[in-house]
Chains A and B, each alone.
Chain A
Amino acid sequence: MTNLIDLTLNELVIKIKSKEISSKDITSVYIERSKSSKKLNTYIEETFDDALKNSEKFDAKPNFDKKLAGIPFAVKDLFCTKNVRTTASSKILENFVPTYESTVTQNLWDAGAILLGKLNCDEFAMGSSNETSFFGNVINPIDDNLVPGGSSGGSASALAAKLTPATIGTDTGGSIRQPASFTGTVGLKPTYGCCSRYGIVAFASSLDQAGPMTRDVKDCSLLLEVISSFDPKDSTSVDFKRPNYSLNLNKNIKGKKIGIPKEYRVDGMPSEIEKLWEKGKEFLKDCGAEIIDISLPHTNYALPTYYIVAPAEASSNLARYDGVKYGFRAEGENLIDMYEKTRSQGFGDEVKRRIMIGTYVLSSGYYDAYYLKAQKVRKLIKNDFDEAFNKVDAILTPSTPSSAFKIGEKTDDPISMYLNDIFTVPVNLAGLPGISIPAGLDKKGHPLGLQLIGKAFDEQGILDIAYSMEEKINFKLNTKDWWIK
């Protein structure tokens, strides 16, 4: 049975539909493997007993028309799940059990998937290493001293360690693509408005998007198809006809024009990454695509812009965690005292830092200089992309400026931590789709990813390009199961 965990999501679905294996078979395999992988600290909440029951229920009355028929599935703990504890990796929601389901996870269960549990992440998705979680840091299955990236670090780690056939994360500034890059997996941030934000614990509302994290591009297409939907409960959800991404998936990218933005050649970028990028270009040329040099002149301003907009929204979004209605409450002398104690004790340092930054940039007297200016720059960054997409079909960049770093390496230096998102944040600011695919290893043997950025709502376009590159790259993740007990 061991090779069952090596099957991709698509392969598993076929095996279940052809009744070669049952939902219970595969669910049990994943539960056993998850149980013996505690060292990675990927799960915050395990729902293994219910998962088994649900798999039996599926097998008793299987519906093979469903896209994820009987597939066990763990999700990031930022998605609210009905009657299953949802913490956002924060003490302030340590014991919070929603009475409702997020639209994205509901789409999964409606497609036949079965919840295995909730996966660790950075607290309120604020972090790039999964070290800000109240439930402890997550370990990258690549090596025991490496971070898996963040904020969807638990998801990336669980996926790479084969504790779930596929998973979902959320991406506000790179939280899907950066951990995918760090763990040698595929992660896609859809166009803003593709996936409903209803029931996802909000970090920065104008940037947050849920997206698929998978072992390969085909799985990514299938999963995107399942989770993307128009949702009247989210006013920013966009009503468009969702294509059948997996069915349409096409390796032929002959004549596609791929842009290479010169501004992404940043100072101090390791030569390995430079080489990887070059290799990516060669692969694309081999596939018949045309490489075009482009300019995204405001790229340099993306990171500072992001670190104004995201904390500003976060400072307001997190105001609801005040100890009054639900979640953690510290006793206080009076209302103000209760607020102060609750929020001081309930939030971790990184969350507090961002609430303070956000509060500051929105304050009267500073609003124009920071928030308003950031909004203007955000528009310029979007214009850069619009301009570029007049000339090209997609843009190729590295996913991250480095491979996975060591646990604790950047925890005392938030700026260097923030710099990790330098290639991913512009995509969120512009609301565009971006996918990270594993493209090679550095000399330490750690995975490196390449990012494809597409036009708004052209997920199909970047999936096709990624699909053809994936074949050329032929990346193999070799994790050796060192953590299994």
Chain B
Amino acid sequence: MIKDQYLIEKNDNKYEVVIGLEVHAQILSESKLFSTSSTKFGSEPNSQVSLVDAAFPGMLPVINEFCVKQAVKTGIGLNAKINNKSIFDRKNYFYADLPQGYQISQYKNPIVGEGSVILDLPTGQKTIGIERLHLEQDAGKSIHDIDPSNTLVDLNRSGIALMEIVSKPDLRSPEEVNLYIKKLRSIMRYLGTCDGNMQEGSLRADVNVSVKKLESDKYGTRCEIKNVNSIKFMQMAIEHEAYRQVELIEGGGTVDQETRLFDTKRNITRSMRSKEDAHDYRYFPDPDLLPLEFDDNFIDNIKKEIPELPDQKKNRFIEKFKLTPYEANILVSDLETSKYFEKVIENSDVKLSANWITGELFALLNAKNLEITESPITAKNLSNLVNLIKDGTISGKIAKTVFELMSDGDKNPVDVVKEKDLKQQSDPKELEKLIEKVINDNQDKVNEYKSGKEKLFGFFVGQVMKISGSKANPQIVNEILKNKLK
């Protein structure tokens, strides 16, 4: 559960954890940032490499306009300032999977400036500041475990467009980090600018962690944890790192600014390089590329393509459908879920639909490890089920049975109810017969009830339901029972 405030206590001192994220989001684009090579994931190694990607002599980068649009789109989604002029710089360092010997990135003049992301916490909303978003190339991949004595290099990823989204140090707990990443991912998926797939590496993050005494205004020295590739690991890494720093400080030591790696096997972070060993990247403007410039018209045209974003959709759901902020939040966080929901409620009760989606359907998808787009129950059939409950054809309890039967191959609940004869018994005459039987069979309990043990009412309802095979309409049973037991 989310605590009101995430604090680390040691020797009567309370520490707040200060976290900033550098998220690397792969832009959804057919081709790379500066070349026409394909970006398809999982292809044969080195099958999607152009002369530019492999940095052959005399090869020159040419900016992919679509990637620029995607970055601007994302910037708009982050309520950020779009810069009409930005500059590509070279970040120089040697590595086997960096063919040019430099990465083309944006240093002092990024394409997107300050913006913000709103998180929904149980305690209310919190705004996380965005420092900047810039465009850069991805490197290739070094593979160390195929050949015993050589490192192999796959350049398929070399030159793929990334957006580096840098947050302000506004995050205060692993849970906030979780929500932040999910919100960012949700926004980008709505925009279609990044698929947010962490397994395939299209969303990665470097995490900056520092701790400070709760009462202090001064931030502590931060450590950067590199390339943590799942939210779970990110949270573990933050937790471990924050405790490590508190232990250090409370032990009379100081935190050194350094880059650390998270060891997922041992669940610790360890030093990768100290500040002294930090690379001198020798950034300078890339002379092969002109400054990236566009006019307001360019931005306005992109604005026209911006779909309804999660926050707007959430507000609409709350206002139009009277959902609680909590329900609305769950339903909009994933674009496909929100689409599914809107399809279900075209013909069905909103509240009931929301409950069934966030309850039974999510549980089913979770258990089967499926995306909502792969749901075994279509929106149409869930809508039918909700309607059967609403019009009293089946009870909520029976509905769960029907749902289970439906999940096995998207059956229409109307057919399932007919086939299995699960229709709710709402005929008072029929129900009266059942109730009389229960009263007759349990005369002792009736006496107890009449002498004041009113809790037994539930027992009678249960008995009626039992002999009806759960088909009795509980509301009508309640009414008749009350009369009979007077």
Interface residues of A (CB under 8 A from B): 80, 86, 88, 93, 96, 98-100, 102, 197-202, 204-206, 232-236, 312-313, 315-316, 318-320, 322, 324-326, 335, 339, 359, 362-364, 367, 371
Contact = CB atoms under 8 A, between A and B. Distances in A.
Contacts of A313: 287
B284 A235 contact: no
B96 A100 contact: no
Nearest to A206: B287
Interface string B78-102: 0000000000001010111001111
Contacts of A335: 95-96, 151
Interface string B46-74: 00000100111111111100000000000
Given A206-B287, A316-B102, A363-B282, A324 B153 contact: yes
A363 B281 CA distance: 8
Contacts of B63: 235
B214 interface: no
Contacts of A367: 282, 284
B12 interface: no
A98 B57 CA distance: 8
Nearest to B282: A362
6 contacts: A93-B57, A197-B60, A235-B289, A320-B101, A325-B99, A339-B94
Across the A-B interface, the 7 shortest Cβ-Cβ residue pairs: A319-B101, A205-B287, A362-B282, A206-B287, A199-B58, A320-B55, A201-B57
Main SS class of interface, A = loop
B273 to A, nearest CB: 14
A201 B58 contact: yes
B288 interface: yes
B290 interface: yes
B280 interface: yes
A320 B58 contact: no
Contacts of A359: 282
A319 B94 contact: yes
A233 B60 contact: yes
A202 B57 contact: yes
Nearest to B284: A362
A319 B280 contact: no
A367 B285 CA distance: 12
B56 A362 contact: no
B87 to A, nearest CB: 12
Nearest to B93: A319
Given A312-B284, A319-B94, A100 B153 contact: no
Contacts of A324: 96, 99, 153
Main SS class of interface, B = loop
Among A312, A320, A362, chain B packs the most CB atoms within 10 A around the CB of A320
Contact of B101 (A197, A200, A235, A322): A322
Given A235-B63, A320-B100, A102 B58 contact: yes
A235 B102 contact: no
B282 to A, nearest CB: 4
Contacts of A80: 57-58
A364 B275 CA distance: 13
A235 B288 contact: yes
A86 B59 CA distance: 14
Contacts of B290: 235-236
Contacts of A201: 57-58
A88 B282 contact: no
Interface string B215-241: 000000000000000000000000000
Given A319-B101, A335-B151, A205 B288 contact: yes
Given A100-B51, A324-B96, A324-B99, A364 B280 contact: yes
A322 B62 CA distance: 23
Among A86, A204, A316, chain B packs the most CB atoms within 10 A around the CB of A316
Contacts of A204: 287
B56 A326 contact: yes
Interface string B262-284: 00000000000000000010111
A315 B100 CA distance: 12
Contacts of A234: 60, 62
Given A232-B62, A316-B90, A322-B101, A371 B284 contact: yes
A437 B96 CA distance: 46
Contact of A319 (B57, B62, B102, B284): B102
Contacts of B96: 324, 335
Nearest to A99: B51
A476 B63 CA distance: 49
A152 B95 CA distance: 33
